[in-house]
Amino acid sequence: MLLSHAITLAEARSHLAALARRAYNDEASAEYERVLLHLDVIHGDYIPGISDVYDEAADILYGIAEHAIEDLVAHGIDALQVELLLDMLDAARAKDVP
């Protein structure tokens, strides 16, 4: 895994974890964690750590996570897997309502 791929993956993981932590309800939190787990399964054994993210609004965290997941195609991740992750992320966001 190249450094740029690891940075993109770490960014996606960090922002997904932040979304799960800040979700309005447990169901949405579990859905964000499911996206995170699927992302980890795709990458197998090599998984960079999750770092703290800035205290941003959920929309900003979502946008950053979405963009990072989309960028994984450029690092050799199957486009179908990326689309599945994006669909899962969208489903999690739909459940993340007050």
Residue extents of the structural domains in the chain: 3-95
pLDDT above 90: residue 58: no
Torsion of CA 47, 9, 66, 40, to 10 degrees: -20
CB–CB of 35/16 below 8 Å?
A: yes
Predicted confidence at residue 92, as pLDDT, reads 95
Cα–Cα distance for residue pair 12/9, rounded to 1 Å: 5
* CA 95 to chain CA mean position, Å: 16
For residue range 18-34, what is the model confidence (pLDDT) as tens digits? 999 999 999 999 999 99
Q: Is the dihedral of CA 83, 74, 40, 49 positive or negative?
A: negative
pTM reported for the whole predicted model: 0.89
